[in-house]
Amino acid sequence: MEDFIIKLPCGLTSQYKEIFNNQEKLTCPFCKNHIISREECLTKNELLIKEKNFELKKKNFIEFIEGYRMTNNDPKGCIGKTYENLKNQIFQRREKVKLIIENRMDDYYENLLERIEKEKKQKLNDFNDDLEQTLSLEQDLNNLIINNVTDLNSKIEIIDNYCDRIDKEIQILNSENKLNSNDWIFNEGDDNIEIENLFGNLECKGTTDQNIEKEKKYDFILTIDKFSCFKNFENSEIKSNIFNLKNLEWEISVKMNENTLNEKTLGFYLACNVSLSTVLMVYQPMSMRNLDYYIFPKEQKISRVK
């Protein structure tokens, strides 16, 4: 296109780049007697320029088709390659999650065993302490000569004291009869593991463009390249890239919901990262490609669309 020959208003010819790559007006490069404007040259050569542009586009298209056919002569294999990396990521995540679960399970298992061992050790120590007191009482009783006590009140006090000690030791000995049992039971946990939250899920790619030049009103645009994501997955959701606005992180999400009547609704949400933030509704403009129906009137406030 740069070397394309065009006609000048004076009847002479020049290369396209000599005129259209310079300023709006310039001196005729040949006769040097008059001024030439790009607008005049465009008007005079409009058809020639359009024809040349058409030829270039046609040539590029043919080259593109030829290259496309060469690189896509095996569409099934080509598509398979594009998803191979995704499948590898899922496989690697599975192996990682298995290790996470196994390590956490082993750690928890060891923790439970450690608690049991501590309990056993403490129970044995308590038994030995109690046994020592019991043997001490037995020895005191064997050495006790109560008949030598002549004072009545003292004798009664001694008897009461030993009776209390005997009652306590008997109570302890009765409790020690439970050495062959323990105070714990094992309750099996819930098998309903939220594996989706741990493993991860498939999300469609989404991008966000935002105009934040105005002071009070902001425009948010979410472009969905593959609307088929909603058709092929239940409870699917597309999230935009996170963007900053007013020192807060924002994101737009589009989610397909299904109620008990199998009715599907498409919800659009704008939310920020503050914990008490209310989900806001999304206004137009909204651009959606590969969409069967476009039913969002401009500037209409929408929360969901059937």
Tens digits of residue pLDDT in 8-22: 767 667 776 666 666
Top pLDDT among 191 and 30 is at 191
What's the mean pLDDT when you consider all of the chain? 72
What is the token pair recorded at 256?
């397909």
pLDDT of residue 285: 42
Q: Is residue 289 part of a domain?
A: yes
On whether both 50 and 117 belong to a single domain, the answer is no
What is the token pair recorded at 105?
């399970």
Residue 171, C-beta contacts closer than 8 angstroms, at least 6 positions apart: none
pLDDT of residue 94: 94
On whether both 286 and 216 belong to a single domain, the answer is yes
On whether both 238 and 276 belong to a single domain, the answer is yes
Predicted confidence band of residue 146 (pLDDT cuts 50, 70, 90): confident
Last residue of one domain, picked from the residues 127, 147, 180 = 180
Predicted confidence band of residue 52 (pLDDT cuts 50, 70, 90): confident
**Count of residues in the chain:** 306
Top pLDDT among 155 and 72 is at 155
pLDDT of residue 142: 82
pLDDT at 114 over 90: yes
Paired with 25 in beta bridges are 37
In percent, the amount of the chain with pLDDT more than 70 equals: 65
* CA 232/CA 227 separation, integer angstroms: 9
pLDDT of residue 206: 54
Greatest mean pLDDT range, 28-42, 48-62, 136-150, 170-184: 48-62
On whether both 211 and 176 belong to a single domain, the answer is no
On whether both 239 and 292 belong to a single domain, the answer is yes
Residue located via tokens 């959606």: 288
pLDDT of residue 105: 92
Nearest to 21 by CA among 35, 33, 45, 38: 38
Q: Is residue 107 part of a domain?
A: no
On whether both 172 and 208 belong to a single domain, the answer is no
On whether both 283 and 213 belong to a single domain, the answer is yes
Q: Which domain holds residue 17?
A: 5-70
Q: First vs last Cα of the chain: how many Å apart?
A: 50
Q: Is residue 188 part of a domain?
A: no
Q: Which of 23-37, 79-93, 153-167, 267-281 has the lowest mean pLDDT?
A: 267-281
Residue located via tokens 């009070």: 216
Quick: pLDDT tens for 198-250.
Answer: 888 877 665 555 444 444 445 555 555 555 555 555 556 677 777 776 667 77
Q: Is residue 14 part of a domain?
A: yes
Total of domains in the chain:
3
Q: Is residue 29 part of a domain?
A: yes
Last residue of one domain, picked from the residues 70, 95, 127 = 70
Q: Is residue 226 part of a domain?
A: yes
In percent, the amount of the chain with pLDDT more than 90 equals: 11
Cα of 94 vs its chain's centroid, Å: 16
Other Cβ atoms closer than 10 A to 236: 17
pLDDT at 3 over 70: no
* CA 169/CA 278 separation, integer angstroms: 66
Q: Do 209 and 221 form a contact (C-beta atoms < 8 A)?
A: yes
pLDDT of residue 222: 56
Q: Is residue 79 part of a domain?
A: no
Q: Is residue 99 part of a domain?
A: no
The mean per-residue pLDDT over the stretch 51-64 comes to: 88
On whether both 218 and 290 belong to a single domain, the answer is yes
Paired with 232 in beta bridges are none
- 164: three-class secondary structure by DSSP: helix
Residue 163, C-beta contacts closer than 8 angstroms, at least 6 positions apart: none
Residue 78, C-beta contacts closer than 8 angstroms, at least 6 positions apart: 71, 72
pLDDT at 253 over 50: yes
pLDDT at 30 over 80: no
Predicted confidence band of residue 96 (pLDDT cuts 50, 70, 90): very high
Q: Which helix (H) or strand (E) holds 231?
A: helix 228-232
Last residue of one domain, picked from the residues 70, 94, 127 = 70
